[in-house]
Structure 1
Amino acid sequence: MVLRPPVEPMLAQARETLPPPGALPGNPIFQPKWDGFRALLFTPSSGCGAVLLQSRRGAALTDRFPDLRRAAGDLPGGWVLDGELIVTDRQGVMSFAALQRRAAARGQTAARLALDLPAHLVVFDALQADGQELLDAPYSERRARLEKLFSERRLAAPWTLCPETADVGVAREWFATWTDVPGVEGLVVRGSRQRYRPGARALIKVRRRDTQEALIGAITGTPSRPRSLVLGRLDQRGVLRSVGRSTPLRADVARQLAEHLTPTGPGSVHPWEGVRFTAAWGSRTPLDVVLVEPELVAEIEVDTARERGAWRHQVRVARLRTDRAPADVPRF
């Protein structure tokens, strides 16, 4: 059967630690987790009549990335490639903000941005090869077809074959060192005998998390029952800048915070007065917050996805640091 777009990609479930042997079919295979947009690439004879780049949710992205459409001429027909779209800025550094600009542009703007902010597809799986559907083939066979494709065609940028290892020691080293590079968040783990299951959360992802500190500038809920936090850091001029939102607070943390929070009182001026907050990064859903005096320090657990000094994903609040003062928190 020839695959036709849209096809749901196989997804990953989040874990805190690397899975033990036997958690997935076959031997565990470790790959870097890229901080980009998931995408499937269909080459012409795979049932779409032309090169088609599909988002995770099935939207056509081809006109947003004319550079990838042109480069697809180096690929044979009848392939469906699964990978991560990433974009590098003018300094050659992976940038999620640049990727967002590319994904929103069309026409002449898309063509201009393709020159300034080149896109790449990091390929980590194949759903179809030379017109042969591979969904039920074990991952080791699908990977072998990919390696042969890259070798025989001598594929280079914008196509990248995702590195992988079966050595857990190497994987731990990647987890510790590669995540220092912008654009790499952690590891994705799949099984060597695993078949491709569209739409299923059958893979495992582990994000690197670090401990940081931030000031509490606002809350959702009420001062007596805070639900989540809006966090900030002072910039070099001493102005409080928003750096992230928290996940829902644990009950013990919420109780402790309720004893220490000071809502902004009449006559006091909060640096976020009049600022509109949204529920998540890139969201337009307004967030109803209560401003509090930014004098409390929270210890938080964060991943590596940052943009313009702020954490894009929700952070976890570990505890309130009553022993720390705002001046002790690193600057924005």
Structure 2
Amino acid sequence: MKAIIPAAGLGTRFLPATKSIPKELLPVLNKPVIQYVVEEAFEPEGVDGVVIVNSHEKPQIESYFTVDGEFESLLQSRGKAAEAQVVHEASSLPVSFVYQDDPKGLGHAVHCAADDIDGQPFFVLLGDYFVPDRKMCVRMAEVSKAHGGASVIAVAPVPADQVSRYGIIAGECVGSLDGNSAEDEQEGAVWKVTGLVEKPAPKDAPSHLFIVGRYLLSPRVMELLADQGVGAGGEIQLTDAMERLLAEEEMYALVVDPAEGCDTGTPAAWAATNARLALRDEASCAAFLEAMGNEAADKLA
């Protein structure tokens, strides 16, 4: 089974920095965002490779995941064996690349990896969101297994006045991941999806659950993307192919805690994620607060 990570976007929210540095390589503490996502992708049993959908305008991403023996030797010669080891581990991850040089939407990006899927189910992990404990996709795989290999998406509750910003699911709660009773929009609840509604008005929203950027999809989705027409924004939308899939196959959703993951999609969210993980890490917390200065540390407190 493969996991697909779309990474061909221009990162315009981070300009001018992303003129020369892909936003996927911006660091959260000492690792780039995309490494967190790649490591998360390998956590579910059966995932044996990650396909990054890149742009030829961003060769730095491919370089990052390529072994550089000369650089590792330099680190070794300077007594930095531990640093050489972490560099080698990152560049040795089983990552492959396909390219999307004409940005036509998320659905088009996912379909660029069609030849690598080989008729198997596949994960899609959006690259501006990662889950530090890496367990979200593992739980999604458990839901899929419990429902005959059906497609599963991760969803999270959003306040009613914000549903118009997101894609919202329609359906009904059919149980929970642990087999216990669960409130409809409580963490761990499992829904049977009957529809996907893009940015509904609050009064028209069929639920308050939005897709958080983690998908485990039937190979049929890849077939449907092959002839998927242009949708919202003049782009080929993954959700449109998923909507078509509902006419043929069952789909489920796992309700997750939105705070379980870390958003890096905007400069403010990226900075907040760095602060959040620095505060969580016992070794770096004190140094982080000291570097922030008294006034900033008091505000965080």
Query: Common fold, TM-score beyond 0.5?
Result: no
Which structure is higher in helix share?
2
Coarse TM-score class (shorter-chain normalised): under 0.3
Which structure is higher in strand share?
1
Greater relative CO (CA pairs within 8 A, separation 6+):
2
TM-score normalised per structure 1: 0.26
TM-score normalised per structure 2: 0.28
Larger Rg: 1
